[in-house]
Structure 1
Amino acid sequence: MAMGKLSAAAVKSITRPGRWGDGDGLFLVVQPSGTKSWLCRVQKNGTRRDFGLGSATKVPLALARERAAEIRTWVEMGLDPILERQKAEGVPTFRLMAGQVIAALRKTWRNEKHEAQWMTTLEVYAFPRLGNVKVSEITGPMIREVLMAIWLSKPETARRVRQRIGTVLDWAYASGYRDSEAPMRAISKGLPRQPKKDNHFEAMDYDRVPAFLVKLSARESYGRFALHFAILTAARSGEVRGATWDEIDLEAKLWTIPKQRMKAQREHVVPLSTPAIRILERCAELRHPRCPLLFPGLRRNAPLSNMTLTQLLRDMKQTCTVHGFRSSFRDWVSEETQHPGDVAEAALAHLVKDKTEAAYRRGNLLQKRRIMMDDWAAFCCQNDSGRLDASASASESDLDHEE
């Protein structure tokens, strides 16, 4: 494969997730979140290995090509590129790498509390075991040992420690200090189930949500549309059941919920993913001209009852609650993504100290939330085409009434 398929301009302009080859085993890797990194794939004697070359925002194309050529030379000489790179560059310890990550993330945090929380959890729980270990040498069993000490006794803290260790090691991989990502998903599978909190809404494990949505979409009803829409938007049941068409801007892909319908008495703007838009388009096809509601109940101008969605879950043999899907979303953000926690909290319309409402509506935070909700929709719809047109010829009278 000849070198030079990519250009510096192309590296900046490519946004579609996937691997984009430059030639000779060099790839630009674009994640669904939009982050870009370099990867070099080398094969010798039937064995294939992948080497991270750093973030594409920090490593220009020319330097990535140089690093890839260096790695290929080492492999041909029978040398281990990881060891050679460590000798040449010096691999940071977990403590040093954590400091670099916190410094980089500081500009995205809204207040100093986030930095203090990061430092406290890492100093107390991670540094004693991992602090002086090179990031290239940290293994899954080491991470699991750290988490097991607090996994059952301090479950919420343990989940935060897991997310922060994973973030540090992901940065190390993107910076070229590790030849693989941290096996956080495998580690999570190897930990015991945490005890459920009293007085909390029971949630569905987020990794079960995609399969559940396939079953939910097998039939059409306003109750099913409403539940599907609630899951994709991480909204409360009452906010969805009371939603009206004048709150929707399909062109801008926004749902503006007036403050009088919000728990916190603040207007809340929800960026709508493509699957969420498809649900609304299907509801628009079935809409009665004089009905203002997105998801009307049996009485045309009255909303679905507060038991409709709950009964739907019971009929589908699920023990979780509608509200619990908000927890499913929050756990997914913490455990599977690098989206900041304050962005997830904003998506859930939780109160934050910064009272600048414009940040929710038109600022950078809304754009970050849009990316996050698109990622959530992609995760939720991974087992389904996302189309709601299997019964596109159905009339309103053909809907299943589950109220």
Structure 2
Amino acid sequence: MARAINRLTAREVQTLKKPGRHADGAGLYLSVDPTGTRKRWTFLFILNGKRREAGLGAVSEVSLAEARRKADAMRAALREGRDPLEVQAEKETAPITFGEAALAYIEAHRSGWKNPKHLAQWRMTLSVQKDDDGGWRETGYCTSIRDKRPADITTEDVLAILSPIWTTKSETAARLRGRIEAILDAAKVRGLRDGPNPAQWKGHMEHLLNKRKKLQRGHHPAMDYRDVPTFVGKLRLVRGMAALALEFTILAATRTSETLLARWGEIDLAEKVWTVPPERMKGARPHRVPLPARAVDILRLVGQIRHEADDFIFPGQKHRQPLSGMSMEMVLRRHGSGYRVIGGDEPTVHGFRSSFRDWVGDATEFQTEVAEAALSHIEGDETEQAYRRSDALEKRRKLMDAWDTYLEVGASADRK
């Protein structure tokens, strides 16, 4: 009878606290320390009559799928008559890539980032997100240099990444340039490259790219609010999770990251309220979003097709992962041309918040304070904020219902 493999589940890996070794099969074990808190992967094998052990990494850094992949590689080495430990050492001394250097930099600095969304933004823009199998996810801007050694990255490589988005997504491009520069600076300190940093701005990139115009808060190219209902009507004809996420974002007037990282546990369908936790908010305060009728319909529709492994409301193709940061932008690019745009040539997802704010100011009688609260903007000085305990939820509910009605009437008329 064949030995059983893949005995453990991802949930067991996270919840097991019993000290000792827990077999996944064929030599792979989850080792739990006596305190029940520290867990690591080990691979046990016999070579030349001697029992040996290889460490595969901590559970906090290596998923179950990745541990199995590493164990498979060691079994393959044994079949070839090679020592798995020597093969592992060869891989560890292999040239470090930009992607690996980026992950090391992020891990070293993540504890200093107050907002968890910074971690997701760094990983996404630098193309160093991983899927459940431990492989790279094809998202972000740096796929062209991810597998290159830091020493081999040139000015032309950096230009090829930045030029396409330097004027259309200037804020993102500027942050990305700074992140690439930081990764390559750290690589130089580690002895992984020499010479000037190809992503450096002063005295280098400033001569190759136009000086970026500093944008004031909220100045993202935005679709004219008078065109948004027509766009929403056409958006409803587009199939896919990204289209539903984009419409939900427009209805709730939320930021991209707030929607993409939304989890089912944050939703109260009975009260029709979505509570975004403070760690995902720009102002580091919880934000209650009153959900209009169409937003609730979208949640129920997504809930009907929800996979049991999904915690994110809008999951990506890989379960347990949210949609990529570019998913809604890609839908907007494909279907958002030909509309009037304020502040640029092409609309942006974040710009729909400006569309919403312009609609409130130009076409309604709602108070400014209610509109700003709907956008989770912090108004007034510290004293005024301290005394304003209420988040005006019921007033904002009326506002969001009116926005829903405005979009629905226009979208329905456009489909007739």
TM-score (norm 2): 0.43
Where relative contact order (Cα < 8 A, 6+ residues apart) is larger, the structure is 1
TM-score (norm 1): 0.45
- Higher Cα Rg, which structure: 2
